Structure 1
Amino acid sequence: MLTKEKKVQIVSALSEDFSKATLITFIDFTGLNVASMAKLRSTIKSVYPGHSKVKVARNKLLELALKNAGYSTEELGNILEGPTAVVYVIDEDPVKVLKALSDFRKEHKGKPAVKGAYFEGTLIDPDKVEEYAKLPSREELYAMLLARMQSPISGLVYTLGGVLRKLLYALKAIEEKKS
């Protein structure tokens, strides 16, 4: 049994993490054995070492930590019922963590079940969690945006280069004609 001091420490640590989290996903880990749970932890940790985590805590402690971090727990409904773990990421791209969780679930026959998530402060349902996992990551979006921005510039450079080439050919032809 946890002592009161230990519970206070757990709530304090979770509150601090949740206040900086861009994603807090609630999962039902029923059906996962210890080895699978350890693999889930290492998979999530490897996405952003030190910033992405999996924690198991009593539902009441999770609820207190969420309240302390500024989240509204009334909207959670039955999310904090039964065995619950949280997968969260602090100050990083949440989509990468959702992708890692989604891939893990595919490998383990849909386990753990997703109950819902706070995605950048907004509560989303399990279906939305799966949709968000299919989105490109922040880095991929930046690369796509940069490619789109470079495309017109590259076209302009190519066009201007062609105009200059034609001018040089015309000058060369005039020079050859005069000589």
Structure 2
Amino acid sequence: MTKVEKTTLIERLSADFKGSNAIAICDYKGLSVKELEALRQSARESNAKVQVIKNTLATIALKNSGIEGLDLKDNNIFVWSEDQISLAKIICKFSSSINGKLVIKSGYFEGVIVDLKHIEAVSKLPSKEELIGMLLSIWTAPARYFVTGLDNLRKQKEAE
């Protein structure tokens, strides 16, 4: 890579990291190219980005975007998104589907450095769509119970 290419990459990554609410750093040793492409595909479906980045370039990009304190060692693959719940779900689901070959090292969720346990806990939360469905169910419950009561009253009157 030339110096110009590195500078361009750092600028793009800095902008991406600033615009994301969630960044996960994983170890990808032992993953085949086919498995990495499957991870990229599932990430694309959830508007997340996946990229293998050299640690020195990643450190500079993270520092430029105001993120410090992440320990980058060995081989790292970075996954980032605006939605931390979907990001955590993608990573944990993918890791379990390939028998743990993708090892979650750490992450950065909304200004806080997080560990594996936090990412796994976030992955178990309901998604935004599930929460909206729960809320709609609660809002429609009174009307549903009213209609059920009227129907029961009608059946009772017909039986008499």
Would you call these one fold, judging by a TM-score over 0.5?
A: yes
Shift of 1:46: 1.9
- Provide the aligned C-alpha RMSD in A: 2.1
**1:64 maps to 2:60:** yes
**1:150 maps to 2:135:** no
Shift of 1:15: 0.7
**1:83 maps to 2:82:** no
Which residue of 1 is the match for residue 2 of structure 2? 3
Which residue of 2 is the match for residue 41 of structure 1? 40
Shift of 1:153: 4.8
Q: Partner amino acid for 2:62?
A: L
Superposed CA deviations along residues 42-81 of structure 1, whole A, max 9, x for unmatched, are 1211223xxx11011111111111111122x1x32x3x11
Structure 1 unaligned runs (5+)? 170-179
**1:107 maps to 2:97:** yes
Distance 1:144 1:86 in 2: 32
Q: Partner amino acid for 1:147?
A: S
Shift of 1:158: 4.2
Question: What percentage of aligned pairs have identical amino acids?
Answer: 34
Distance 2:101 2:123 in 1: 15
Superposed CA deviations along residues 62-113 of structure 1, whole A, max 9, x for unmatched, are 1111111122x1x32x3x11101111113xx321232122121112110210
Which residue of 1 is the match for residue 14 of structure 2? 15
Q: Partner amino acid for 2:129?
A: E
Structure 2 unaligned runs (5+)? none
- Which has the larger Rg? 1
Using the size of structure 2 for normalisation, the TM-score is 0.85
**3-state secondary structure, aligned to 2:101:** coil
Using the size of structure 1 for normalisation, the TM-score is 0.76
**3-state secondary structure, aligned to 2:50:** strand
Which residue of 1 is the match for residue 113 of structure 2? 123
Shift of 1:154: 4.1
Q: Partner amino acid for 1:43?
A: S
Superposed CA deviations along residues 103-126 of structure 1, whole A, max 9, x for unmatched, are 211121102100111122221101
Superposed CA deviations along residues 121-160 of structure 1, whole A, max 9, x for unmatched, are 22110111111111110111121122223323544x449x
Tell me how many residue pairs correspond in the alignment. 153
**3-state secondary structure, aligned to 1:43:** helix
Distance 2:10 2:2 in 1: 12
